[in-house]
A and B are shown apart, each in its own frame.
Chain A
Amino acid sequence: NAGVTQTPKFQVLKTGQSMTLQCAQDMNHNSMYWYRQDPGMGLRLIYYSASEGTTDKGEVPNGYNVSRLNKREFSLRLESAAPSQTSVYFCANADGSWGEQYFGPGTRLTVT
């Protein structure tokens, strides 16, 4: 079992370009999350999804959109990338509304 997978592993964008980060899980967990990790700031929640078809904003949602079309997949879209979105992005899941989370390997994004 792969657990939580993310694609791509690395991406370089120019300011204003768009892209979608993909996340998939094979753990049959209901809730999924997108975080960004920046030096000295810890993990910050961008969006989360309690279940298929539902999404909600986290701490830093501006500039991002998400889509949870089915239980397995949760994608994060940057419509118009900005240098401030340079970061490492992690997808995670959890069995319910609380409890331990399981993280993917991350996507390292650079916006120039």
Chain B
Amino acid sequence: EDQVTQSPEALRLQEGESSSLNCSYTVSGLRGLFWYRQDPGKGPEFLFTLYSAGEEKEKERLKATLTKKESFLHITAPKPEDSATYLCAVQSTSGTYKYIFGTGTRLKVLA
């Protein structure tokens, strides 16, 4: 069964304190892994797509990496405006049109 597990559930960081969020996945074949940011009361906002192990994508203070079993979202020198819930989703090669979402990591960055 396709499954996505995110950890930790919640994370509090001081401004400037770098850390990583984890997304572990089990799929029969990976078509793509997606990271989204969700602010309170808003819809998820697309950040990155990763397709194969070893791939990396960067955007400002965020860097996403992918292995055969997990993905990491590295946050370098975070700022309070990075506070949000970060969602991970996968699409398997056997699940056209269907995405499996994790429950997210709630990140709070303190000034």
Smallest CB gap from B34: residue in A:
A100
B31 at the interface (CB under 8 A from A): yes
A-B contact count (CB 8 A): 56
Q: Do A98 and B43 have beta carbons less than 8 Å apart?
A: no
Choose one: A31, A98, A100; the contact of B46 (CB below 8 Å): A100
What chain A residues lie within 8 Å of B44 (beta carbons)? 43, 90, 101, 103
Chain B interface: which size bin? 20 to 34
| A2 interfacial by beta-carbon distance below 8 Å | no
Q: Provide a sorted-by-A list of 22 A–B residue pairs whose CB atoms are within 8 angstroms.
A: A33-B97, A41-B103, A43-B44, A43-B101, A45-B98, A45-B99, A48-B97, A58-B98, A90-B44, A92-B43, A98-B91, A98-B97, A99-B49, A100-B32, A100-B34, A100-B46, A101-B89, A101-B99, A103-B43, A103-B44, A105-B42, A105-B43
Residues of chain B whose beta carbon lies under 8 Å from any beta carbon of chain A: 4, 31-32, 34, 36, 41-46, 49, 87, 89, 91, 96-99, 101-104
